[in-house]
Amino acid sequence: MNETVQIISAQYPCRESLIRKLYQYYGTGDPFPPAVYLYGHTSTGKSTILRAFLPLLEYTKYAILNAIECYTNKILFETIINRLEGHTLSVENGYASLVSADSMKDFVAQLQRLSSEFSYVIVMENAERIRDMDHNVLPMLLQLPEATGLNISVLLVSDLPFEKYHIRTGLPPVIKLFAAEYSKNEILVILKNDFRKVQDKLEASIVTGKGTPLSEEEIQKRLKILSNLTLDFYENYLNIFLSVFYKVCRDLKELQLVSLECYQKYCEPVLDGSIEQTDVQKLWRHISKAMKIALGTIYMRMGNVNQDTIRQTIDHQPSEASEQQQTMKRLAQTLELPFYAKYLLIAAYLASHNAAKEDKRLFMKNHGKQKKRMQSVIAKAKVSEKMATQLGPKSFTVDRLLAIFYAILDDKVGLTCNLLAQISTLIHLKFLIFASGEGSVMEGSARLQCTVGMDFIVHIGKMCGFNVRQYLCDFF
């Protein structure tokens, strides 16, 4: 296997096939393909691998830019030229670009002046934004070698499949590379590779005395125990952690953050000597409540609220339910959402935890009488495990979300761009996630899920003066 592939595969495990394909197209000395489209879900290593791979290519200059930042043609063209030439905007040069390129003609002319001794790669992240630019930008980017005579390639990086670009007719063919989501075993391997970093952070927290101040003797005692914690101990913890979190979250970055928070609490009884590191059952009982709280705040990023919550959960086990409610109340009060966004979040929760066939009965005033049959009586005699709020969120369409939103909102408000933007904000905050049909919420095919928990949405409802339980089938 090539040395370049070996180096990057060692740094980023579970992506060897993707790295091999990139090397096949860019590392063999053959002319580069005019365009490559690299796509896949967020947090699948696309940009990270490219940033490690491109510097290892010989006689190759590259430019990595984000299409969101390049909101005009002029900024896009000049940024590409600047980065290919290694020109950085600074105080010394008055933040002036190396060249001026106002049009596609100027851009191509500047590229033709580049040295043919080098090869060039242009990486465009969030490439779907290029669809909103002038109609000639995307087609020209896909065939730059023909226009410039250089060995140059455009590598488009996006979360969307290339089929979403078919609104543009006449696009030249591109090579498509797909970065699949990490499997549970692959995430386990990646998290295991962080063992030394995690141990160093835990050691730093002990030395700095975060939480309860410790004596010098106690610090040395804990550091000695920490040095004896093996990779097998950490792997046992990760298996427990992923058994809880993998079904809810596949985002590697989020899992890395939350696993570190929970690992610190997992190690506490081992470090203070109250539980042996080999007693897996006691360690599981110790960490289970903390994981349950962390599960409800995984996407919220409220500073150190997870750590505070976990600490309170462990320290005050008898009042777990009340403590959890207080935590959710603090989260809801801390979250500064617009008024309509709160109602949209409530509507999303109701759509995720009610059957669509019940919408008419729940949200329409004149829905008619409902006949009581023995089957419906038996169906409503639900045990906790079979309640919709316990089984997890179901997917729903944007149309259904808006229908429920208008049904529960007393005010008369039109369907404006601002309202739709608030749905996108909730998706960006990960309070809503795509179950299928990722893309614009207005395309009609997208289905969403609500990720927030019952306690949290109840407190959001109280802030709006809305009784959420009244509109949940589980409580009829």
For the segment 89-126, what is each residue's pLDDT rounded down to a tens digit? Answer: 888 888 888 888 989 999 999 999 999 999 999 999 99
Average pLDDT of the chain? 82
The pLDDT, as a whole number, for residue 303 is 44
Task: Examine the domain organization and report whether 262 and 203 are in the same domain.
Answer: yes
The pLDDT, as a whole number, for residue 88 is 87
Q: Examine the pLDDT at 332 and tell me if it is beyond 90.
A: no
Determine, yes or no, domain membership for 240.
Answer: yes
Task: Examine the domain organization and report whether 54 and 140 are in the same domain.
Answer: yes
The pLDDT, as a whole number, for residue 340 is 86
Q: Which is nearest to 404 in space by CA: 358, 454, 463?
A: 358
Q: How many domains does the chain have?
A: 3
For the segment 38-53, what is each residue's pLDDT rounded down to a tens digit? Answer: 999 888 899 999 999 9
The pLDDT, as a whole number, for residue 438 is 66
Under the banding of pLDDT at 50, 70 and 90, the label for residue 314 is: very low
Determine, yes or no, domain membership for 113.
Answer: yes
The pLDDT, as a whole number, for residue 302 is 47
Task: Examine the domain organization and report whether 471 and 380 are in the same domain.
Answer: yes
Q: Is the separation of the CB atoms in 191 and 256 below 8 Å?
A: yes
3-state percent breakdown (helix, strand, coil) of the chain, nearest 5: 55, 10, 35
Mean pLDDT of 288-293: 82
The pLDDT, as a whole number, for residue 305 is 43
The pLDDT, as a whole number, for residue 326 is 61
Quickly count: other Cβ atoms within 10 Å of residue 400's Cβ: 19
Determine, yes or no, domain membership for 333.
Answer: no
Determine, yes or no, domain membership for 223.
Answer: yes
Task: Examine the domain organization and report whether 174 and 189 are in the same domain.
Answer: no
Task: Examine the domain organization and report whether 461 and 348 are in the same domain.
Answer: yes
Task: Examine the domain organization and report whether 349 and 281 are in the same domain.
Answer: no
The pLDDT, as a whole number, for residue 365 is 61
Q: Which of the listed residues 110, 143, 178 is the one where a domain comes to its end?
A: 178
Q: What is the residue whose two structure tokens read 């001794």?
A: 117
The pLDDT, as a whole number, for residue 361 is 81
Q: Examine the pLDDT at 435 and tell me if it is beyond 60.
A: yes
The pLDDT, as a whole number, for residue 447 is 85
Determine, yes or no, domain membership for 319.
Answer: yes
pLDDT over 70, % of the chain: 82
Determine, yes or no, domain membership for 230.
Answer: yes
Q: Examine the pLDDT at 10 and tell me if it is beyond 60.
A: yes
CATH number for the domain spanning 10: value is: 3.40.50.300
Task: Examine the domain organization and report whether 190 and 312 are in the same domain.
Answer: yes
Q: Which of the listed residues 178, 203, 233 is the one where a domain comes to its end?
A: 178
Q: Is the separation of the CB atoms in 26 and 57 below 8 Å?
A: yes
Task: Examine the domain organization and report whether 84 and 200 are in the same domain.
Answer: no
Task: Examine the domain organization and report whether 238 and 154 are in the same domain.
Answer: no
Q: Which of the listed residues 307, 327, 347 is the one where a domain comes to its end?
A: 327
Task: Examine the domain organization and report whether 458 and 352 are in the same domain.
Answer: yes
Task: Examine the domain organization and report whether 209 and 173 are in the same domain.
Answer: no
Determine, yes or no, domain membership for 91.
Answer: yes
Determine, yes or no, domain membership for 332.
Answer: no
The torsion angle over the Cα atoms of residues 388, 394, 398 and 402, rounded to 10 degrees, is 0
Task: Examine the domain organization and report whether 282 and 358 are in the same domain.
Answer: no
**Which amino acid makes up residue 414?**
G
CA 460, CA 468: separation in Å to the nearest integer? 9
The pLDDT, as a whole number, for residue 81 is 94
CA 412, CA 407: separation in Å to the nearest integer? 10
For the ranges 7-11, 61-65, 108-112, 263-267, the lowest mean pLDDT is seen at: 7-11
CA 89, CA 227: separation in Å to the nearest integer? 46
For the segment 374-404, what is each residue's pLDDT rounded down to a tens digit? Answer: 455 455 454 444 555 557 788 898 889 988 9
For residues 112 and 369, the model is more confident at: 112
Query: Domain containing 396: what range?
Result: 339-475
For the segment 203-261, what is each residue's pLDDT rounded down to a tens digit? Answer: 988 888 665 677 888 889 989 999 999 999 999 999 999 998 888 788 888 898 889 98
